[in-house]
């Protein structure tokens, strides 16, 4: 994978500042996680993944600002703090199989891959999927598979997954995704509509297959689209 922290990288200082900003949000983090700090592993990889290489060229100057950015086709790349928080909430271990719904620019997938996960990512907008696939390959992320499809239905052929992350707001937690989550696994998904308060919801499936949910914090995401 790319050595994003190399001295030749003109964005290294900005990326380090982004990580410091994420780490400083201890009050929000403590409410969401029950502890003051984001997992150091997550912060370390976010200090390495070149976010600027995964956004359109005309907004690269804003790559490391702690806010969502437009990536075309009415879609956005999530705020870095939210990427860190959602990744942390999945309680991942190296080698876990993670399903991502909404590839977008590929940034979230890159963060997961840099953590050592095998990532399966679905994007419903074909040009975005193709661009992300090309950009991720150029950065050397061979542990990410991207396909075009309706993420509501998941990727049944590769199930079950240790974790599932949904990067668009659904009106409800998609039943196919719950089914594809292995016992003991975790899913993070924004739930709500574009015009009402959305909640980031953590879904846990215990060893016996029983599902529990917890609202983490209010968020704003673009809506999950598709035939459902």
pLDDT at residue 108 tops 80: yes
Q: What is the pLDDT of residue 195?
A: 72
> Model confidence at 7, in pLDDT bands (50, 70, 90)?
low
For residue range 201-210, what is the model confidence (pLDDT) as tens digits? 999 999 999 9
CB atoms under 10 Å from CB of 100, counted, come to 26
* Mean of all residue pLDDT scores within the chain: 93
Separation of alpha carbons 26 and 28, rounded Å:
6
- Kindly give, in sequence order, each residue whose CB lies less than 8 Å from that of residue 195, ignoring residues fewer than 6 positions away: none
* CATH code: domain of residue 66: 3.40.50.150
Active site residues: 78
Residue 22 lies in a domain: yes
Q: pTM of the entire structure?
A: 0.93
Distances from the Cα of 110 to the Cαs of 9, 156, 165, 172, in angstroms? 18, 22, 13, 26
Residue 4 lies in a domain: no
Residue 127 lies in a domain: yes
For residue range 9-28, what is the model confidence (pLDDT) as tens digits? 899 999 999 999 999 988 88
**What is the C-alpha end-to-end distance of the chain, expressed in Å?**
36
Residue 192 lies in a domain: yes
* Token couple for 193: 């509509």
Q: Which domain holds residue 137?
A: 12-219
Could you give the number of structural domains in the chain? Answer: 1
Q: Which residues lie across from 1 on neighbouring strands?
A: none
Residue 38 lies in a domain: yes
pLDDT at residue 35 tops 80: yes
**Cis geometry, peptide bond prior to residue 160 (ω within 30 degrees of 0):** yes
Q: What is the pLDDT of residue 2?
A: 55
Residue 53 lies in a domain: yes
pLDDT at residue 4 tops 60: no
Residue 151 lies in a domain: yes
Average pLDDT over residues 192-217: 92
CB atoms under 10 Å from CB of 211, counted, come to 13
Residue 190 lies in a domain: yes
Q: What is the pLDDT of residue 62?
A: 96
């Amino acid at each position: 994978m790319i050595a994003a922290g190399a001295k030749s990288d003109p964005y290294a200082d900005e990326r380090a500042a982004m990580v410091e900003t994420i780490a400083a949000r201890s009050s929000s983090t403590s409410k969401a996680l029950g502890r003051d700090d984001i997992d150091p592993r997550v912060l370390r990889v976010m200090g390495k993944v070149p976010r600027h290489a995964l956004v359109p060229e005309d907004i690269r100057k804003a790559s490391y600002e702690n806010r969502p950015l437009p990536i075309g086709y009415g879609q956005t790349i999530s705020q870095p703090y939210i990427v860190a928080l959602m990744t942390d909430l999945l309680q991942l271990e190296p080698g876990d199989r993670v399903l991502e719904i909404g590839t977008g620019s590929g940034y979230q997938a890159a963060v997961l891959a840099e953590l050592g996960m095998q990532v399966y990512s679905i994007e419903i907008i074909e040009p975005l999927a193709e661009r992300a696939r090309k950009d991720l390959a150029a950065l050397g992320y061979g542990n990410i598979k991207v396909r075009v499809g309706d993420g509501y239905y998941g990727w049944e052929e590769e199930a079950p997954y240790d974790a599932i992350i949904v990067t668009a707001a659904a009106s409800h937690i998609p039943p196919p995704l719950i089914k594809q989550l292995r016992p003991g696994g975790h899913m993070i998904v924004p739930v709500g509509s574009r015009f009402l308060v959305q909640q980031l919801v953590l879904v846990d499936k215990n060893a016996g297959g029983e599902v529990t949910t917890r609202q983490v914090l209010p968020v704003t995401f673009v809506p999950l689209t598709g035939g459902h």
